[in-house]
Amino acid sequence: MILGVDIGGTSIKAGVVDQDGTVLKMDRVKTPKQQEEFVHALIKLINGLWTEYSGQINAIGIGCPGPLDAKNGMILKTPNIPQMTDLKTPLQNNFDVPIFFDNDANCFTLAEALYGAGKDHAVVLGITLGTGFGAGLVINDIIYSGRGNALELAHTVIDKNETVVFPNLVRGCVEQYVSTAGVLFSAKKYDLDVAEPIDVFQLAEVKNDKALAVWKEFGWNLGIVLTNAVCAFDPDVIVIGGQMNQAWQYFEEAMQESLEKNCIHPTPLIVRATVKEAGIVGASLLIR
Amino acid sequence: MILGVDIGGTSIKAGVVDQDGTVLKMDRVKTPKQQEEFVHALIKLINGLWTEYSGQINAIGIGCPGPLDAKNGMILKTPNIPQMTDLKTPLQNNFDVPIFFDNDANCFTLAEALYGAGKDHAVVLGITLGTGFGAGLVINDIIYSGRGNALELAHTVIDKNETVVFPNLVRGCVEQYVSTAGVLFSAKKYDLDVAEPIDVFQLAEVKNDKALAVWKEFGWNLGIVLTNAVCAFDPDVIVIGGQMNQAWQYFEEAMQESLEKNCIHPTPLIVRATVKEAGIVGASLLIR
């Protein structure tokens, strides 16, 4: 069995995964903001399952927001997670099994490619619509990493003349539009008084026009991101996951319209993610 | 020996290439605009070298502007080249050796990866600055194609709110800026009365301020394209070729400034192409 860990900005989740990709047991903890507490909480979380499945864990796979130095277990500068110059050593000191790291969106895509909506497709592009924008590419069941941090589509520019600037973001990059911050900015433009995208989702559920307009804008921008991804990677399938995925019915139409208008290439299959806890499952698959 | 063919909007070039990637003999013909003449001219061009190197040609490789159906030798809709539903059969009827097709920018990148500026690098991104914008990705000496037409970066959107529309182009796509048409449009904005980018180049040579500004704008936009490519593919090296490459000294600084401003990822090595007739050499390498 493999222990898969999914490090997120809100919580760290760990699970014991069998060789069929089934999560047998799961646990989670709130993500500490300080480096030392972060490491301590992570070790404690893993140790609980490690002890319970004593002697049965053959490896640990860890997915975390990129960019990172996967080989050395370094988490480079990324919002919401403490920067770590060496996460591997403290873990290795506690757990004497091979430990692997990769980007969380890569883990998500790997899980979907092997067990989910991307199964039986050669080239799978995975997209996670979360706090940020994540993407991964799996070619013949292998993550494409380039020098180590490919598929950072969040930071690609889709509006080079954008006048609004978001903190910590390149002007006009994907994450300025297709992210929690993007949805909230859009909501503000429409005079919606909300704190989180879930609020905009709930307003859409009761047919609030402004909320529906926000998701439409989100879908249109997502369509442009997908256009660029189709032109760049020409994948067999695009699998979309992440918590904002729940607003699918409110952004799908605008997303498709945007693709029809902007993408001159034949669009591939575009489907919703199907693997439960794909982050944990995908992390467990890093050992292959 | 292999016969490599480089089909362009202006001319079709063919060459006999030995196993070291050296072009032993070359010939060319102006690209006919009509389908029948196009096929006839192509066969005649190949036949000249085929006859001269009688019995020594083991395969034919053909590079042409994408998108195309490489397996069936179909040239899909592309400006400057007649659309072909089947280029393979007429060629195969005349030349009884294996015939391979691929995108011209892929051929360029393959040649640079094996013999040129991309040699000894695992992931090579090639970019051709010609009439249009071409790109190719070679991973461990193999062209990455996705479903068949990946790396069509020309059609990726970098200004989703662009108000100017170019014929046959998606609004705000790369080819609107980094192409012959883009340079001429930019020149017009600066009140430069020119017919071709070469004119803008020659004006830059005599320190014409407006011409220098055009190349600066070109470099800045190219820097955004490179930013997006670095984030997406994270290559070890980017090799830049194509005829507009000759204005390198006039756009390089702005390109680097743009990368520094827009690209949050470490930029890879960015170098100029070195292989002579890379299109022909790359086409000859399609047999591998």
Choose among B145, B155, B227: nearest Cβ to A157: B227
Beta carbons of A221 and B160 less than 8 Å apart? yes
Considering only CB atoms, which chain B residues are within 8 Å of A162? 161
Choose among B144, B159, B231: nearest Cβ to A156: B231
Asked if residue B80 has pLDDT above 80, the reply is: no
Overall average pLDDT of the A225-251 stretch: 97
Query: A77: number of CA atoms within 13 Å, CB side?
Result: 5
Task: Name, in order, each residue with C-beta under 8 angstroms of B171's C-beta and a sequence gap of 6 or more.
Answer: A262, B157, B160, B162, B164, B165
Note the pLDDT tens digit of each residue in A75-119.
Answer: 887 777 888 889 999 999 999 999 999 999 999 999 999 999 999
How is domain B2-106+277-287 classified at the CATH fold level? Answer: Nucleotidyltransferase; domain 5 (3.30.420)
For residue A267, the chain B residue with the least C-alpha distance is B147
Q: With bands split at pLDDT 50, 70 and 90, how would you rate the model's confidence at A257?
A: very high
b/e map of A64-102 (b: 16 or more CB within 10 Å)? bbbbbbbeebbbbebeebbebeebbeebeeebeeebbbb
Q: With bands split at pLDDT 50, 70 and 90, how would you rate the model's confidence at A65?
A: confident
Beta carbons of A152 and B234 less than 8 Å apart? yes
Examine domains A2-106+277-287 and A121-272 and report if their fold is the same: yes
Beta carbons of A236 and B145 less than 8 Å apart? no
d(CA A83, CA B161): 35
Considering only CB atoms, which chain B residues are within 8 Å of A67? 265
- Is residue A106 within 8 Å of residue A127, measured between CB atoms? no
Choose among A153, A263, A268: nearest Cβ to B232: A153
Considering only CB atoms, which chain A residues are within 8 Å of B269? none
Overall average pLDDT of the A199-222 stretch: 98
pLDDT score at B250: 98
Asked if residue B46 has pLDDT above 90, the reply is: yes
Beta carbons of B234 and A156 less than 8 Å apart? no
Q: Measure A159 CA to nearest chain B CA, in Å.
A: 4
Comparing B111 with A81, the larger pLDDT belongs to: B111
| Model ipTM value | 0.95
Asked if residue B62 has pLDDT above 90, the reply is: yes
What CATH number does the domain located at A121-272 have? 3.30.420.40
Considering only CB atoms, which chain B residues are within 8 Å of A171? 262
Amino acid at A51: T
Considering only CB atoms, which chain A residues are within 8 Å of B265? 67, 149, 152, 155
Q: How far is CA B97 from the centre of its chain?
A: 26
Beta carbons of A147 and B234 less than 8 Å apart? yes
- Is residue A53 within 8 Å of residue A1, measured between CB atoms? yes
DSSP string, A102-130: EEHHHHHHHHHHHHSTTTT-SEEEEEEES
Average pLDDT, chain B: 96
Overall average pLDDT of the A15-26 stretch: 96
Considering only CB atoms, which chain A residues are within 8 Å of B236? 146-147
pLDDT score at A258: 98
Beta carbons of B145 and A235 less than 8 Å apart? no
For residue B144, the chain A residue with the least C-alpha distance is A233
Overall average pLDDT of the B133-152 stretch: 97
Overall average pLDDT of the A252-278 stretch: 97
Cβ atoms within 10 Å of A12's Cβ, excluding its own: 23
Q: Measure A110 CA to nearest chain B CA, in Å.
A: 17
pLDDT score at A186: 98
- Is residue B16 within 8 Å of residue B53, measured between CB atoms? yes
- Can you say whether the dihedral through the CA atoms of B250, B254, B260, B264 is positive or negative? negative
Q: Measure A177 CA to nearest chain B CA, in Å.
A: 12
Those residues of chain A whose CB sits closer than 8 Å to some CB in chain B are 67, 123, 139, 144-162, 170-171, 221, 224, 227-228, 231-236, 261-265, 268
Compute φ and ψ for A149, nearest 5 degrees.
-135, 55
Model pTM score: 0.95
Choose among A148, A228, A236: nearest Cβ to B147: A236
Please report, rounded to a whole number, the percentage of residues in chain B having pLDDT higher than 70: 100
**Domain locations along chain B:** 2-106+277-287, 121-272
pLDDT score at A58: 97
Choose among A139, A150, A264: nearest Cβ to B234: A150
Beta carbons of A158 and B153 less than 8 Å apart? no
d(CA A107, CA A235): 17
Q: Cis omega before residue B67 (within 30°)?
A: yes
Overall average pLDDT of the B102-120 stretch: 97
Q: With bands split at pLDDT 50, 70 and 90, how would you rate the model's confidence at B10?
A: confident
Beta carbons of B160 and A236 less than 8 Å apart? no
Q: Measure B184 CA to nearest chain A CA, in Å.
A: 20
Q: Measure A235 CA to nearest chain B CA, in Å.
A: 5
Q: With bands split at pLDDT 50, 70 and 90, how would you rate the model's confidence at B134?
A: very high
Residue A173 DSSP symbol? B
What is the end-to-end Cα distance of chain B in Å, rounded?
13
Please report, rounded to a whole number, the percentage of residues in chain A having pLDDT higher than 90: 92
Considering only CB atoms, which chain A residues are within 8 Å of B224? 157, 160
Asked if residue B84 has pLDDT above 90, the reply is: no
pLDDT score at B215: 98
Cα–Cα nearest to A134, from A239, A232, A270: A239
> A-B interface: how many C-beta pairs under 8 angstroms?
121
